[in-house]
Amino acid sequence: MGSESVKVVVRCRPLNDREKALGSKMVLSMDLRRCQCFIEKPGAVDEPPKQFTFDGNYFIDQTTEQMYNEIAYALVEGVTEGYNGTIFAYGQTGSGKSFTMQGVSEPAAQRGVIPRAFEHIFESIQCAENTKFLVRASYLEIYNEEIRDLLGTDTKQRLELKEHPERGVYVRDLSLHTVHSVGECERIIEQGWRNRAVGYTLMNKDSSRSHSIFTIHLEICNTGEHTHNYTIPLTH
């Protein structure tokens, strides 16, 4: 991995049951060593595949655990050391964003980026010396160009996007929730997940139909020094 501020990683999921029933064929192949992806045009035997190069790529047999260790670990570690960071998953509905970010409990290797980040942060806190931490979380949804607080008292209320000369862009009245453990983080993200806008699509019967941003706000206070604030938005 290079030293660029923004890195782009692609992950390929296997064919789902609907695609298999339709007789769909895999048209993507990867060169993992060179971080290259190749897309073939069906039926175009004489046409070379289109080639794309990324900062990292993961094929259908690779796990979220491997991806986290190679890609996300250093970013989350940086937040505990005083740097802001963002992990942003994007793609069309049914492409696997929620699977990568939220994950599944079993098998353990496919636990998502977000719960792994929880564990990473609290393990770092336990190992820190002469340092105090305040960990807070927020969870918002962007649906039909409206912002909602998934952890607020009124999850239907539309919130406003504002800009502050020092804080930068922020969401006014977005609630912050203090968390003390991985378990508390998991409980509030489950609470927010239940409040998301979900609907059926041909690509995904449980499509979230929205974008969401779960942010961990980390305040670090070294003994005898000033407090510093850092964030890690986890977006999909």
Burial (CB count <10 Å: 0-12, 13-18, 19+), residue 99:
middle
98 is in an annotated binding site: yes
93 is in an annotated binding site: yes
* The pairing of beta strand 50-53 with beta strand 36-39: antiparallel
138 is in an annotated binding site: no
224 is in an annotated binding site: no
Whether the upstream peptide bond of residue 107 has omega within 30° of 0, thus cis, is yes
97 is in an annotated binding site: yes
20 is in an annotated binding site: no
With vertex at residue 203, the alpha carbon angle to CA 200 and CA 207, rounded to the nearest 5 degrees, is: 45
Under DSSP, the state recorded for 23 is T
Nearest by Cα to 72 from 54, 51, 53, 89: 89
168 is in an annotated binding site: no
Q: Which residues are annotated as a binding site?
A: 91-98
**Binding site feature residues for ATP:** 91-98
